[in-house]
Amino acid sequence: MSQDTFREATRAMLYRMLYESRTADHNLLVDHYAEQMTRLFAAEAHAILNEVLKDSHARLDARLAPDPVSQGIANVQTTMQDLWRSFWD
């Protein structure tokens, strides 16, 4: 999951809200869509957390492996991830 998928899903919800706002009670509509956005955020956050945990598990397994090649690959992945983060921070 990414920010782009979250943004697109949120935009689609907001467009539906704008379309439905012509005939519906605005307070009920805002409550309904706030609940939907909260659920979407929770689902996206859960998916991102699962990705991080899977990646951490794979790296830990590689670092603890007796194979030096796997350990080297894990070190390279960590270095590349640190470089990537430094570009965005």
Spatial distance between the Cα atoms of 3 and 26, rounded to a whole number of angstroms: 28
pLDDT score of 1 more than 70: no
Specify the pLDDT at position 32: 84
Q: List the chain domain ranges.
A: 3-88
pLDDT score of 88 more than 70: no
Half-sphere exposure of 89 (CA within 13 A, CB side): 6
- Strand ranges inside 1-89, DSSP E: none
The count of other CB atoms within 10 Å of the CB of residue 44 is 17
pLDDT score of 89 more than 70: no
pLDDT score of 17 more than 70: yes
pTM above 0.85, yes or no: no
Amino acid at 51: E
SS3 at position 71: helix
**Mean pLDDT of all residues in the chain?**
79
Spatial distance between the Cα atoms of 88 and 55, rounded to a whole number of angstroms: 19
Q: Is-contact 20 29, C-beta < 8 A?
A: yes
